[in-house]
Amino acid sequence: MQANSKPQPTEPWRQRLIRGLLYGRNVDRSIKARARVGFAMLAFAAIYSVIGFRLVTIAVVGDSHGGRRAAAQDAVATARPDIVDRNGEVLATDVKTPSLFGEPRRIIDQDEAVELLTATLPDLDTAEVRERLSSKKGFVWLKREITPLQQQEIRKLGIPGIGFLRENKRVYPSGPAVSHLIGLVNIDNQGIAGIEKWLDTNGLADLHRAGFASDRLQKPVELAVDLRVEHALRDELMKAKEKYSAKAASGLVSNVRTGEIVAMVSLPDFDPNNPREAHDPDRINRLTTGVYEMGSTFKTLTLAMALDSGKANLNTLYDARGALHFGKFAIHDSHSLGRAITLTEVFTYSSNIGAARVALAQGVEAHKAFLKKVGQMDRLRTELPESAAPILPKRWSELNTITISFGHGIAVAPLQAVMGINAMVNGGYLIPPTFLKRTEQQALEIGKRVVRKDTSDKIRYLMRLNAEIGTAKSAEAIAKGYYIGGKTGTAEKVVGGRYSKKQVLNSFTAILPADNPQFQVLVMLDEPKALPETHGFITSGWNAVPAGGKVIARIAPLLGIAPRFDLPPSDRLILAASKATQ
C-alpha cells in the first residue's frame, strides 16, 4: 500500500530572492555565519591593538602635540648627540626644558590671558603676545625655554588655550673653555657655528627633517681636544694677556704626527650658554677666521725650502754685512752681525737679511711653489666652517719673495702656519689638521711628503739650537727637562698704510720634545705692551716666549711627556743621530 505524503509548502519568490542576494545559492548558512563572526572578531582585535599601541606610546614618550605643531609649522628643538673630548668629558649635551605656547582659537578672554601672562613673565612683550594670541593660527610660541617654576606658576593660572611643550635645550658644561671649537646652536637647537654647525651640515639636519633625531639615542661625537690641556692653555693665555695688556691672545696645541688639535683658545672668547656674546666682532676665532702676517716663524719654511732643494746646507754663507737694498727699500736686521753668516746663524739670530738672501737664491717661482706645496697658498678647510683664505700678493715679484721670506707680505690663518711647521718637524709629511680623533696610521694615509726626512731632522736641530742659544732661551729655562725647540716671530702691524714698530703681533711656536716631536705649541699675543722687566722691548722673546714656556710646563705632564735632564746638546742628540741613520 502506498503511503500518502503531505505536500511541502513552497517558499515565496521574494524570500528566495533575498536569500540568494545575501548568501548565494547552495550555501550552508551556518558555515557562512561562523566565518563572518570570525572576521568581525579579527577586525575588533586589530582596532583595539591600534588603540592599545597608541596608549602605550603616549604613556612612554608623552603626547608630542604633533598635530598642533604641524598645523602651525613651527620648529621644535630636536635632540642632538653629546659632544665629548678625547677622554669622554662632556662638552655639549641636551637637557629637557619647557616652552610656553598658545592656541589662539581656544582663547576665551584674550585680554585676560595677556594680562595674566605678562604679569607672570614680565620680560614678555605685551604687544607681541597680544598680536600672537590675536592671530588665526592654531599654534603660536609665546616664550621658549622657561623655568620649571615659571611653568608651575602659569599652570596655576588655568588659562584655556595655553600649554607647554618639552624641548631640547643645548647646554655647555665647560662654558667658554672650548667655545670657538664647539660653537653654538640657535633657539631651535640647530648648529650655527663651530662643530655644532659641522654636525648639521654632515647629516644631523637631514635626520631632524626625516624625524629620526627625536630622542637622545645618538652616538656621542668624540673630538681630539683634551679638556685638561684646554683649561691649562686658556689659563696661561689669560694671565699673559692681562700681564702684557695685550689686545688679544690665542694659542693651540697640535699633535704633529696626526694633525689632531688637542687644544685651541682664542681670547677674548664667549660663553656658548649666552649666545649674545658670540656676536661681538672682537670675539672671533683668530686661529682659523683671522689671517695674519706671521713674522719670523715663516723663516722656518724659508730655510727648509733651501735645505730641501740641496742648494744649501747648514754651513752655507750669506752676506749680512749691511742692509739689503732693493730699489727704494732697505732690509735691516735687529741685531746686525756685520759679517757673512751661516744658514744656521740666519735661524738662531733671526736675520731678515739672511732669510731674504736664502729665498732670492732659490728664485721667485721656486719660493711660490714651495709655499703652495706646504699649504700656505690656499684656504685651509677643516671641520670648523669658519675659515679665511690667505692674503697673497696680486703680483709676486722679487720684493715679495724678500719680505715673505721673513713673514711679511703674506697673511695666513695661524692654524695654516702650524700645519706647515708640523710638516717640517714630523719627518716631512703635510697632514691636514683635524678636530676629530685620528690615529697615526689614518694620518699617514692622507698625508703627503713635502720635504725629505733629512731636511726635517735639520729643522728640528735648528729649533732646538734656538732654545739653547737663540731667541727661545727663556722658554727653555721655564720648561726645564722637556727638550723643547722653538722659533719666535714679531710681525709689525700695518697702521695707516705703514708698518708700525709699536703695534706688533707676537708669536712663539715650540715643538716638544725636539729630538722626537710629538706636539707643537703656538702662543700669540696681539699688541702686547712693554713692561719694566722687558726693558721697554715688545718683541716676542720678552712676552710670547715666556708665556709659551709656562704653557709647556703645565701641559707636558698632561700629554704624557716626562721630563728628561742632562741630555746632550742638539748637535749630538739630533744632528749626529740623523747622520748616523742616513
C-alpha cell at 322: 749691511
Backbone angles phi, psi at 574, to 5 degrees: -105, -55
- Is 423:430 a contact under the CB 8 Å cutoff? yes
Known catalytic residue at 296: yes
**What residues contact residue 96 under an 8 Å CB cut-off, 6+ apart?**
166, 167, 168, 169
Q: What is the DSSP string of 21-56?
A: HHH-SS--HHHHHHHHHHHHHHHHHHHHHHHHHHHH
Whole-angstrom Cα distance, residue 76 to residue 65?
11
- Is 224:253 a contact under the CB 8 Å cutoff? no
The β-bridge partners of 526 are 248, 505
- Is 510:475 a contact under the CB 8 Å cutoff? yes
DSSP assignment letter at 272:
T
Q: What is the DSSP string of 531-558?
A: -GGGTT--SGGGTHHHHHHHHHHHHTTT
The β-bridge partners of 261 are 254
Q: What is the DSSP string of 311-338?
A: S--TT-EEEESS-EEETTEEE--TT--S
Annotated catalytic residue: which of 99, 174, 254, 296?
296
The residues annotated with a catalytic role in the active site are 296
